[in-house]
Amino acid sequence: MFLVSKFAIIKVIVPPLLACILFVIALFGLVLPFSKHNLMEQKKETITLLTQAAINMLTYYDRRVQAGQLSLDEAQRRAVQQIRGLRYGGEDKDYFWINDLSPRMIMHPYRQELEGQNLASFTDPNGKHIFMEFVNTVNQQGGSGYVTYLWQLKERGDRIVPKLSYVKLFEPWGWVIGTGVYLEEVHAQFAEISRELIFISASIMTLIVLLSFAIIYHGLSEVNRRRLAEKELEQYYEHLEELVDQRTRELTTALSEVRMLSGLLPICASCKKIRDDQGYWNQIESYIQRYSQAKFSHGICPECIQKLYPGFDEEEEGEENEKD
């Protein structure tokens, strides 16, 4: 159980949490929108380059006409045949079409029933005059431009989807040639890229979270160990103080049991009794034993022997002489 405060936990958790939040904001607010924009720009650049390649093909046949190698009708027929068969894309179903400035359909690989027809009044399901928009775009934007509209999905006439096309005018023949990308496919491709990016980002974020929790756990463990050490040290100091107090009490008790004799003691000049603080006269040995740790054993000194037993020394000396 961690012995850390809520403030310490918040202080450790907030930085990696903020980092994850900023990462998510950056991913969904900047990276994915930028990726979508970049993908669309790549698609626009692709159809621009492909359209220019078709224009180069028309230029080739026009040069042959100018050189007298082909008639205009034959050159246009060959050009239409080659462009009709051009395909690209993942399924090789993306195509080119050609209309003139009338606008009349010159060639469309999937809508051949429109070829030769004037399409000035042709509209998509939203009412947009598509082919007039193509003509207006090349006339107003320097010979080329992008147009968004609704059109059938490749050869599937039963499915109408948004499409972005690039159209370019081939001035020598007055033809408008174009190709485009289906926005549904772009969105699907972007969704796939987004899933991959999100998966990679989620993996990175998971790794960051795991590392953050590992760091947090390690940090909290260090804090916990420090707190436990501080608590143990505090308990040790408390125990030490208790021991000191206990030893002090024991020493005080021991000192209180030690009795010392000091100062002037009133002693009888005759019987040698000592008067205590209560005024009682005590035998000297009783007094000393009471107020000190001294113990007494009884014996008799030589002077007292001579005084109490005058003939004791002479008898002892005579016995020693007889032994000799």
Pair 143, 30 in one domain:
yes
CB-CB contact of 78 with 70 (8 Å): yes
CB-CB contact of 190 with 38 (8 Å): no
Prediction pTM value: 0.60
Within a domain: 200: no
Pair 157, 272 in one domain:
no
Q: Which residues share a beta bridge with 162? A: 150
pLDDT level of residue 6 (50, 70, 90 thresholds): low
Pair 175, 272 in one domain:
no
Summarize pLDDT for 259-273 with one digit per residue, the tens. 555 567 788 877 778
Pair 40, 122 in one domain:
yes
Pair 175, 286 in one domain:
no
Within a domain: 107: yes
Q: Which of 148, 172, 194 is the last residue of a domain?
A: 194
**Residue 119 backbone dihedrals phi, psi, to 5 degrees:** -110, 25
Whether pLDDT at 242 is above 70: yes
d(CA 66, CA 69): 8
Q: Which of 90-94, 164-168, 299-303 has the lowest mean pLDDT?
A: 299-303
Within a domain: 247: no
pLDDT level of residue 209 (50, 70, 90 thresholds): confident
Pair 19, 146 in one domain:
yes
Q: Is the model more confident about 1 or about 182?
A: 182
Pair 180, 270 in one domain:
no
Q: Is the model more confident about 305 or about 161?
A: 161
Within a domain: 246: no
Report how many domains make up the chain: 2
Pair 72, 161 in one domain:
yes
Within a domain: 245: no
Q: Is the model more confident about 153 or about 132?
A: 132
Q: Which of 164, 179, 194 is the last residue of a domain?
A: 194
pLDDT level of residue 1 (50, 70, 90 thresholds): very low
Q: Which of 138, 167, 194 is the last residue of a domain?
A: 194
**Residue 188 backbone dihedrals phi, psi, to 5 degrees:** -65, -40
Pair 153, 16 in one domain:
yes
Within a domain: 249: no
For the segment 229-236, the average pLDDT, to the nearest whole number, is 86
CB-CB contact of 168 with 58 (8 Å): no
Within a domain: 290: yes
Query: CATH number, domain at 163?
Result: 3.30.450.20
Structural domain including 130 reads 6-194
For the segment 159-164, the average pLDDT, to the nearest whole number, is 94
pLDDT level of residue 200 (50, 70, 90 thresholds): confident
Find the Cα–Cα–Cα–Cα dihedral 180, 182, 185, 190, rounded to 10°. 70
Within a domain: 53: yes
Q: Which of 71-85, 171-185, 203-217 has the lowest mean pLDDT?
A: 203-217
Pair 301, 175 in one domain:
no
Predicted local distance difference test score (pLDDT) of residue 140: 96
